[in-house]
């Protein structure tokens, strides 16, 4: 998004409530509250260092960004702190890699506080009422959209990570409760040398 001039974009102000993480444990956004309404602000992971260095939950913040259609999301191009420091998306370093982290099996059963989206408005998971960030791939998330909507109750199992900003779980199974979990990814069908269905027809 660094090709957009931040000065050309409208500014939205609010209070940073909490950071959200991707499955690697990197900060890739935050929840901003304005007059009790919560908005998800997406920031690329390469902005994590500056954001966490200059901002903390409870701080006043201003965001210049773009809003994709059909999602309660602001994709940030620039984030301005209460002290006036402007943190601009200048694009990632080409040699930047995800941190090496150790995931552990984790499960959760909670109410959805906020749907989480990617920068173009694609559904990517949910922020749960206990603060857990639940991540799902965009293709798979479409099939679980009703369970990832605010107010829905869901259960999930997957690979998790505890970070200084909270817990993030990359979901492998989701359901309305722990007794009705469905795999997020459909198991691949075994490959055969010929198409049995074609012969059956």
**Which of 105 and 36 is assigned the larger pLDDT?**
105
**What average pLDDT does this structure show over 4-32?**
93
pTM for the model stands at 0.86
How does DSSP classify residue 59? -
User: Measured on CA atoms in the order 12, 18, 20, 25, is the torsion positive or negative?
Assistant: positive
8 A C-beta contact, residue 80 and residue 43: no
User: Tens digits of per-residue pLDDT, 110-127?
Assistant: 999 999 999 999 999 999
76 near 30, Cβ under 8 Å? no
> How far lies 49's CA from each of 111, 127, 134, in Å?
30, 22, 22
| Domains of the chain and any CATH numbers | 6-88 (2.40.50.200), 104-183 (2.40.50.140)
Spatial CA neighbour of 163 closest among 103, 88, 115, 80:
103
């Amino acid at each position: 998004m660094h090709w957009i001039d931040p000065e050309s974009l409208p500014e939205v102000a609010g209070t940073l409530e909490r950071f959200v993480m991707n499955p690697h444990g990197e900060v890739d956004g935050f929840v901003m509250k304005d007059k009790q309404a919560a908005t998800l602000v997406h920031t690329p992971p390469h902005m994590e260092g500056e954001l966490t260095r200059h901002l903390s939950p409870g701080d006043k913040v201003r965001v210049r960004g773009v809003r994709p259609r059909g999602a309660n999301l602001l994709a940030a191009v620039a984030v301005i702190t209460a002290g006036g420091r402007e943190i601009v998306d200048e694009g990632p370093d080409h040699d930047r890699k995800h941190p090496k982290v150790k995931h552990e099996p984790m499960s959760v059963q909670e109410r959805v506080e906020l749907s989480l989206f990617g920068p173009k408005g694609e559904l990517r998971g949910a922020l749960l009422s206990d603060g857990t960030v639940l991540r799902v791939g965009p293709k798979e998330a479409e099939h679980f959209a009703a369970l990832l909507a605010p107010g829905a109750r869901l259960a999930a199992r997957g690979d998790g990570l505890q970070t200084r900003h909270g817990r993030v779980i990359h979901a492998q199974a989701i359901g309305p409760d722990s007794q009705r979990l469905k795999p997020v990814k459909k198991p691949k069908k075994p490959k055969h040398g010929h198409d049995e269905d074609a012969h059956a027809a």
